Amino acid sequence: MRIVVAGAGLAGWRAAEALRAEGFRGEIVVAGAEAHRPYDRPPLSKGLLTGATAETALALSESDTADTEVTWRLGNPVAALRGRTVVLEDGEELDFTGLVIATGSTPVIPAGLNRPPGVHVLRTLDDARALRADLTGRVLVLGAGFIGCELASTCRDLGLPVAVADPLPHPLIRVLGEDVARRVERLHRERGVRWLLGTQVVKFLGRDRVTGAVLSDGRAVRADVVVIATGVRPATGWLAGSGVDVSGGVRCDEYLRVLDESGAVVPDVVAAGDVACWTHPLLGEAVRVEHWTTAALGAAAAARTLLHGPQAPFDAVPSFWSDQCGLRIQGVGLPGRGEHVELVHGNLAGDKFVARYSTDGRHVGSVAFGLPRQLALERRRLTSA
Amino acid sequence: MNVEVDPVLCESHGQCEFAAPEVFSLDDEAVLHIDHGPVENVREAVHRAARACPTRAIRIAE
């Protein structure tokens, strides 16, 4: 009896923990692309860069005792899936009786961009270490999503001048909608962040070291350090030729059972975390969610499905948080899908408010600035609707 | 079953209140309160709360 967990991030580790908690006593092999044991990623864009969070505080596997004993294969990513065998990059073949796919996602680099030294991405602990060691002078961030906005905030905490470029007109607009996105824009502007919105980088300047960038509107901006934060894609390359449906992520049914290209369940294979695209029982559509909470809860649900069969659909409502400029932004549901926004607490001029999003009179999501209790109530309202 | 929340780690995200409102609740100042009374009746929900906590502040001893 051997369960292979492909991926050693939050979802992979929580799956291993849940397998043990649910009574699995066979071998668990956790294979990860990175050399590190599982760690928590959210601080990488914040406290780890400022020094407020120590690396040791990131460890997820502190409970790695006899109860959760696993066999590690770290720094050795999964390379292929052939029937009931996972092949690792170094050629090792692992036969399995069960497989958890939790390979997460990898940064997207805009096509055609050169990469002189000083141009970073931020996904892994090694990425964060390299950025921290290099983080001085003028910073340019590509992408005004969560990571880009958090990075801008962190740079201001460090007293560094920072500019953020994004082709969209306002930061986080896809997630928050225009009204709240404008509020985020102002929050950062008041903190000294320079926005380069409605534009994108077409070329970096500098050869031995980045010195700046040329924007699509013809402007040039100077920069000593660049971070590309233009989103991620699900890490499914290793599944090529396996028969698994990887359109839009690893396609799963509502129990997180992996489906093949014909839509049939692949026996004894489940998925969780960033990589999984599953039919959400409450939302009524297939979604792939890159939030921490979805990985944490989905991994446990996938582990239960693997051991006990399809008993409970995975119905956790997408839920996120982001700490920026001293404020905590929290959201639930799919607010970016809402056509109408209603302020149910506070107003957009202040620092504390709750916005409720709806489409055709149906509540689809809520976002709170600095009001966690009110958001918990919104979440209950959303799930009981 | 004993439930404890580390007050240093807790950042009042409110995920626990959503998972197990019988046990966890934030007040208007976003301070977390725990009602140990119903814990045994909602064991799975308490475990879900611990899993959902972004700061891993909830400790459960069986």
Considering only CB atoms, A293 lies closest to which of B12, B17, B52, namely: B52
pLDDT of the residue at B61: 87
Residues B11, A381, A10, B24, CA torsion sign: positive
The strand pairing partners of A121, in sequence order, are A228
pLDDT of the residue at A385: 60
Note whether A14 contacts B52, CB cutoff 8 Å.
Answer: no
pLDDT of the residue at A142: 98
Which pairs with CB-CB distance under 8 Å and at least 24 residues apart come from A179-182?
Answer: A179/A341, A179/A348, A179/A355, A180/A335, A180/A341, A180/A348, A180/A355, A180/A367, A182/A348
Cβ(A161)–Cβ(A120) under 8 Å?
no
Q: How many whole angstroms separate alpha carbon A373 and alpha carbon A33? A: 38
Q: How many whole angstroms separate alpha carbon A365 and alpha carbon A383? A: 10
Taking each helix axis from N to C end, the angle separating B43-52 and A292-308, rounded to the nearest 10 degrees, works out to 130
Put simply, whether A373 touches B (Cβ < 8 Å) is yes
> At residue A315, does pLDDT exceed 90?
yes
> At residue A64, does pLDDT exceed 80?
no
Q: What average pLDDT does range A217-235 have in this prediction?
A: 97
pLDDT of the residue at A61: 79
Residues A233, A235, A237, A239, CA torsion sign: negative
> At residue A66, does pLDDT exceed 80?
no
The tokens for A244 are: 């698994």
pLDDT of the residue at A157: 98
pLDDT of the residue at A370: 94
pLDDT of the residue at A82: 98
Interface confidence (ipTM) of the complex:
0.91
Q: What average pLDDT does range A243-260 have in this prediction?
A: 98
Contacting residues of A for B12, CB less than 8 Å apart: 372
Q: What average pLDDT does range A57-63 have in this prediction?
A: 82
| DSSP β-ladder status, A2-6 and A27-32 | parallel
Q: Classify A72 as helix, strand or coil.
A: strand
Considering only CB atoms, A372 lies closest to which of B21, B26, B52, namely: B26
Mean pLDDT of chain A: 96
Residue from B8, B18, B32, B53 whose CB has the most chain A CBs within 10 Å, to mutate: B18
Q: Report which residue type is found at A307.
A: L
Q: What average pLDDT does range A247-252 have in this prediction?
A: 97
The tokens for A200 are: 């994108």
Nearest CA in chain B to A41: B54
Contacting residues of A for B54, CB less than 8 Å apart: 42, 292-293, 321
pLDDT of the residue at A264: 98
> At residue A124, does pLDDT exceed 80?
yes
pLDDT digits (tens, 9 = 90+) for B3-37: 999 999 999 999 999 999 999 999 888 899 999 99
Lowest mean pLDDT among A29-33, A64-68, A303-307: A64-68
Considering only CB atoms, A373 lies closest to which of B15, B30, B56, namely: B30
The pTM score is 0.96
> At residue A63, does pLDDT exceed 70?
no
Note whether A373 contacts B54, CB cutoff 8 Å.
Answer: no
Contacting residues of B for A54, CB less than 8 Å apart: none
Lowest mean pLDDT among A114-128, A254-268, A310-324, B21-35: B21-35
pLDDT of the residue at A65: 57
Q: How many whole angstroms separate alpha carbon B46 and alpha carbon B62? A: 11
| DSSP β-ladder status, A232-234 and A250-252 | unpaired
pLDDT of the residue at B28: 83
Residues 6+ apart with CB under 8 A from A328: A321, A322, A369, A370, A372, B11
Q: What average pLDDT does range A130-140 have in this prediction?
A: 98
Per the listing, tokens 């690893």 go with A250
> At residue B1, does pLDDT exceed 70?
yes
Per the listing, tokens 């599944």 go with A239
Q: Which B residues in the span 22-51 are in contact with A, Cβ-Cβ below 8 Å?
A: 26-28, 30, 48, 51
pLDDT of the residue at A62: 67
Distances (CA, A) of A123 to A13, A347, A363: 17, 34, 33
Contacting residues of A for B15, CB less than 8 Å apart: 293, 319
Q: How many residues does chain B have?
A: 62
Contacting residues of B for A379, CB less than 8 Å apart: 14, 18
Buried b (16+ CB within 10 A) or exposed e, A98-129: bbbbbbbbbbeeeeebeeeebbbbbbbbebbe
Opening angle at CA A105, ends A104 and A107, nearest 5? 155
Nearest to A374 by CA among B10, B19, B50, B13: B13
Phi-psi region of A333 (alpha: psi -120 to 50; beta: other; left: phi over 0): left
pLDDT of the residue at A67: 65
pLDDT of the residue at A284: 85
Distances (CA, A) of A110 to A203, A293, B22: 10, 28, 47
pLDDT > 70 fraction of chain A, expressed in percent and rounded: 98
pLDDT of the residue at A283: 86
Q: How many whole angstroms separate alpha carbon A319 and alpha carbon B19? A: 12
CB neighbours (10 Å) of residue A258? 28
Q: How many whole angstroms separate alpha carbon A162 and alpha carbon A155? A: 6
> At residue A303, does pLDDT exceed 90?
yes
pLDDT digits (tens, 9 = 90+) for A323-358: 999 999 999 999 999 999 999 999 999 999 999 999
